[in-house]
Structure 1
Amino acid sequence: MTQAALADAIGVSRGFVSEIASGKKEPSLTTLRKIAETLGVPLSEIYTDDTDQRGFAEQATRFEPRSDSEVAMLDLFRGMGKRVELYEVNSPAPLLYLNKGDRIAVDIGEIAQPGDTVIASEIDDSGTGHSFVARWLDPWIEPGDTSRRPERMDDSGRLAVMGVVKGAIRL
């Protein structure tokens, strides 16, 4: 089946299917189910849940600590009662002074205050989730890179703050 035929069958753009095929975009679980059904294969054949890589992979990916400094940062924040997870920055956020490869400690669920650096998520028109590092300027989210414009939060649920960045390590 061609990408064009698959896109038509599952109701998404041909460009989106191309981006999925090239690894540039992650489809939602709903889209994955449509793809599996259309191709006549089990979902498990085209999707596996890698629990060590939970979350969104566009700009930051969750991982377990590997170095003494990463363990120490986690212990510090967890000792303060924070629900902190480590993420690796996959693409730079120069406006927030974060480089590719930096490790950030994110307090999942903390209420963001204006000026906080946060992990934000966005659901696009195709239902695909994306994450990015941003500055919270209630009610605005200002992305950490210049390729995106600031966006206003609304009640649609399209944008959300996932957690507050509490610290960073540059290796």
Structure 2
Amino acid sequence: MLGTTIREVRKARGLTMVQLAEQAGVSQGLISQVENGRADPSLETLRRLAEALGVPLFDLFQDGAPSPVNVLRAGSRVSVTTPTGSLTYEKLSPPSATLEVLRGRLEPNDVSSAEPHAHPASECVVVESGAMVVEVAGERIELGAGDSAIYDSRLPHRYLNESGSVAVFLVFASPPSF
């Protein structure tokens, strides 16, 4: 389904595989393999493809037309995990929502991404359990269970778990971008 959705969005945008590959910074061969279901792209590759296509990342996993009332049943949630398994995001908000809600799980002594990244949105992060550092534009904000922070996600940011236990957190973003 992922490959089919990427192909449909690419074609709806009037992009060739070559153009999408150039915009996303990946090879045309990888685009072809993903669209034909022969490759599972990494989280970083999915982010690049979604950005190049101009859609939130999780929209690539959705099927069907939007409804005036959006519901996402617990058993239908989509999640993505980094190749190392150190970070998992589960989408809690329904498809086509204007506010994106994610539950994140970051393993001990790991980071959400090797380098901070930016995207056009405003984000609020709430730590449910454990502790983590929110790094925004080089500033480090330490958060513990129950703490929250809001920031302009157009600034380079990432999450760090420098503790010995798992950090579980919620991210609220508007507009959706993941």
When the two structures are superposed, what TM-score results if normalisation uses the length of structure 2?
0.27
When the two structures are superposed, what TM-score results if normalisation uses the length of structure 1?
0.28
